Structure 1
Amino acid sequence: MLMQFSLIHGSLPTKGRGLYLALILLVLSAGCSPENSSDQNLPEITVLDRFTKAISVDDNLLYAPVSIQIDAEGNLYVLDTAVMQVQVLDAGEPRLIRSIAGPGRGPGEIVRPSHIRLANNMIHVIDTGQFVIQRYSLDGRFHSAISYGEWGYFPSVAAPPPAPVNPSAVITPDLDNKPHILANGDLMLSPMGVRDSISSLYRRYNSDREFLARIGHIPDGSSFILSNEEVKSDIQENRIPSFYLPKAFPVSSAQDEDLIYMIFSSMPKIARYQSDGIMAWEKEITGISELDSIKTGFFSSMERIMQNDSRFRITLNFYHSGTVSPEGELWLITQYRDIYLHRFSANGALLNRYKLVAEDEKLKPIFDIHFERKEIFIVNSDGEVLLFPY
């Protein structure tokens, strides 16, 4: 399970840092539950252990890839935060085709990007550091910028400064409630964190700022203001904290803007929506051992952490990101010690469970799939891109 520790208020006194480090070691040493599920209807785990390195360290092409996408021709688009650029690569060679963007606050420059999205013949870089979506043509030219902060999606209360991060580290992006781009270029923006009362998880707009639809219902019992005491109480009652419930991210089709999946990160639950906000179906994901292990580990770790200091908490992500096949199937990636991919039908039925095994390689839940070639591209902690056939 990928856990992230957060200090909610202030900083620890010096004598408390040793205790904090000890807590981290204790969490990381927690065991995991068996892989076999008691639900006989679940598909068995298929182990994928054959891979090649599409991009290796020796190629000197990538350093800290945090978001990848593959186009129809098989070109690999990689957001590399070490250089604050999108690198377009021919993974078959491998070679660099072109570099896009760069660090800074000028036109087309990026500060703290979270992920990229290919849509409507454009490359979109979601820069949460500037509350801007930078748009580039496929040949790398800067096209325009959408400042969604100016649309009213700028937090009313300033967030604490982020913890220092090694820019060369491969960090799994947090997609919860981040902007999303649909196939036709329309925007989905989340009011989470910018409004005290919200009626949907996302709102859809066109590039002219015209409001089109509300997408994604608010789970019952959700809270939008963090209370450490409420989180502690929920943990003691073995409930998912109410502050975690509205954390979600969309996964949409690259071909059809009317096909949108909403992934509730902390529940786990998935729902399918149309672009007008109408929900087709909703499904809770239960009985899957790797997801049960994440939940068990979360509660066990949170109980130990909050007994010592309620200012600390860890994230809960049953899934980290996903992609949609041309047939409308949903693929989601999860991590508990190992990396798993779950393939769902367009009706929400779990079709396959894949476990990716790469010997001593430490894989990260950062991936995309070339569906025609049946190839999974995934990043490891060294900044390499591995290719698994399936």
Structure 2
Amino acid sequence: MKRIYITVSLLILSSCSTDKSPFNEVGVTELEQFETLVSSDDNLVVNPTIVKFDNDDNLLVYDSRRGELLKLNKLSEVVGKYGNRGRGPGEFLRVNNVFHIEDYIYIIDDIGLKIHKFTVDGVYETSLEYKQKAGLTLPPLPPVPAPDLSFLDNLYAVNINNQPIITDFDYVLLPAEQMENTVYKIADFEGNTIMDFGEIPEGSSFELDYNLFRTSISNREVPNLLIHNVFPVKGGSGSGEIFMVYNAIPRIEKYDANGTKIWSKEIGDNPEIDAIKNAFFNTMQEILSITDAVATFRAYTWGVSDKESNLYLATYNSPELPLWIHEFDKNGDLNQRYKLVSEVELLPTFDIDFDNNLFIVITKESEIRTFQF
């Protein structure tokens, strides 16, 4: 039997948990009015995939087509640039994430496996090399002889699962090289390990077993191979807190700066993504009837936290669904469900201007918009 590896960014919800957030009891706020910050007609960016607000009314925008990280002011003028595509000092192959911490800009290169550090003025300072997470690494997606995959339009959206982030105090959260007890480690910018961080969920597996994967899909259950997929979100309070978002379970955990878990909360049934969950299992069953295949997926795609330690998580977007952003309070309880309505598809990455209550999003037509909430 022919075998195919499929790397897919999807949403899925586990049907089994004990402490779930009651989604159906929380109201929905529809956001339809928007302002365009950067139009596709401006020709400033060709294919923006990451946008970050730096609290000085500037935007950091990564253009994946041109291989540029630009700083735009509130007039949408280019006022800064950080690195460029390449293999030299301060250059990157692909940007996975960007962080503005105090007087520095940090760029995560998930192909070159480096973290580049620049001053806010664009002066390159140094880089930290890191290793990929432990466990199975899936090859890129090949052509797939499969049924309708239109719900996977955001297949190549940025995937921050098990990728580094910059924390408070100039520390780096790196994926664990050997997942024996933890999924991450905290290190300084010299690469020296300070402590292990984040728990490996019970039932996780790091060995590829096609029969087990196929059985899990047939039973519409999360394969054990995917349970440890997680992305961290830096808390916005400045205290060093970190949220861990386990996608396949799905579960949110909150840790303090010393690596102590404050709380853990599994996320309840989510009506927003039931359709995608069903489409995923149905499509995977059809693919697996043809060939051996493995897919990875995400319950949430991106996260942002504010000064009060509220957590905002984006769900995957598709042509059939708007972009949803779920707001959780500092204790992990769901506060609000925001539905961003748009005539064009919105990418599942975002940032927030908290002073003005604005979601900052990117459209598939390469525009940058804000939605007031």
Structure 2 length normalisation: TM-score? 0.86
> Which amino acid is 2:199 matched to?
H
Output the CA distance in 1 between the equivalents of 2:195 and 2:269: 34
Match of residue 14 from structure 2? none
Structure 1 runs, 4 residues or longer, greater than 4 Å off: 38-41, 153-159, 161-164
Distance (Å, rounded) in 1 between the aligned partners of 2:39 and 2:89: 32
1:183–1:255: 8 Å Cα contact kept in structure 2? no
The answer to whether structure 1 residue 362 and structure 2 residue 345 are counterparts is yes
Task: Identify the residue that residue 128 of structure 1 maps to in structure 2.
Answer: 110
For 1:298-317, list aligned pairs within 5 A.
298-311=280-293, 313-317=294-298
Matching of residues 16-31 of structure 1 within 5 Å: none
Measure how far apart 1:135 and its partner are: 0.9
Query: Which residue identity does 1:346 align to in structure 2?
Result: K
String of CA shifts for 1:112-132, please: whole Å, max 9, x gaps: 221211124211111111111
The answer for unaligned runs of 5 or more in structure 2 is: 11-20, 144-153
> Relative to structure 1, is the Cα distance of residues 305 and 366 closer, same or farther in structure 2, using a 3 angstrom cutoff?
same
Give the stretch that moved more between structures: 41-50 or 291-300. Answer: 291-300
1:249 to 228, 231, 239: 231
Query: Hey, what does 1:349 align to over in structure 2?
Result: 333
The question of 1:319 aligning with 2:303 is answered: no
2-side partners of 1:156 and 1:240: how far apart? Answer: 17
Identify which of 148, 151, 158 aligns with 1:173.
Answer: 158
The Cα of 1:216 is off from its aligned counterpart by 1.3
Q: Which amino acid aligns with 2:283?
A: S
User: Cα deviation per residue 1:306-326 (whole Å; 9 max; x = unaligned)?
Assistant: 122222x44321100110011
Cα pair 1:215 1:276 within 8 Å, conserved: no
Distance 1:208 1:321, change over 3 A: same
Structure 1 unaligned residues grouped into runs of 5+: 1-5, 10-23, 29-37
Cα distance in structure 2, aligned partners of 1:270 and 1:216: 11
Cα distance in 2 for residues equivalent to 1:362 and 1:95: 25
- RMSD over equivalenced CA pairs, Å: 2.6
Q: Summarize deviations over 1:243-299 as a string: whole Å, max 9, x none.
A: 110000000124525211000111211111112221111111113211433333322
Measured at CA, do residues 284 and 294 of structure 1 come closer, stay the same or move farther in structure 2, by a change above 3 Å? farther
After superposition, the Cα gap between the structure-2 partners of 1:224 and 1:155, relative to the gap in structure 1 and judged at 3 Å, is: closer
Single out whichever of 254-263 and 332-341 deviates more from structure 2.
254-263
Match 1:59 to one of 37, 42, 47: 42
One-letter identity of the residue aligned with 1:297? A
Q: SS where residue 289 of structure 2 aligns?
A: helix
Match of 1:238?
220
Contact persistence 2:237–2:308 (CA under 8 A): no
Name the CA shift for 1:157/1:342 in 2 (closer, same or farther; >3 Å). closer
In structure 2, relative to structure 1, the CA distance for the partners of 1:141 and 1:320 (3 Å cut) is: same
Partner of 2:283, secondary structure, is helix
* 3-state SS of 2:41 partner: helix
Matching residue within 139, 144, 148 for 2:121: 139
Matches within 5 A, 1:379-390: 379-390=362-373
| 1:187 alignment counterpart | 172
Q: 1:220 to 1:362 in 2, by over 3 A?
A: same
Correspondence for 2:312:
331
Q: Which moved more, 1:212-221 or 1:348-357?
A: 212-221
Q: Is the 8 A contact 1:66 1:171 kept in 2?
A: no
Q: Percent identity?
A: 28
* Aligned residues of 1:235 and 1:299 also touching (Cα < 8 A): yes
1:161-310 pair list within 5 angstroms: 171-191=156-176, 194-195=177-178, 197-310=179-292
Change in 2 beyond 3 A, CA 1:160/1:240: closer
Q: Secondary structure at the match of 1:275?
A: coil
Query: CA 1:374 to 1:125, structure 2 compared with 1: closer, same or farther past 3 Å?
Result: same
Contact 2:128 2:191 (8 Å CA) reproduced: no
Q: Residues 330-374 of structure 1: CA distance to partner in whole angstroms, max 9, x if unpaired?
A: 00000352210000100011000000001x211111100000110
Structure 1 Cα separation of the partners of residues 135 and 341 of structure 2: 44
**Matched residues in 1 for 2:366 and 2:112: separation?**
25
Q: 1:204 to 1:81 in 2, by over 3 A?
A: same
Please name the residue that 1:42 is paired with. 25
For 1:228 and 1:273, the matched residues in 2 are separated by 34
The SS at the match of 1:335 is coil
Structure-2 residue corresponding to 1:35:
none
Matched, 1:89 2:86: no
Equivalent residue for 1:75?
58
Alpha-carbon contact 1:248-1:264 (below 8 Å) kept: yes
Q: Secondary structure at the match of 2:222?
A: coil
Counterpart selection for 1:99 from 70, 75, 81: 81
Could you say which residue in structure 1 is the equivalent of 2:361? 378
Question: Aligned pair count?
Answer: 346
Deviations 1:9-57 (A, max 9, x none): 9xxxxxxxxxxxxxx9xxx9xxxxxxxxx96862111100000111011
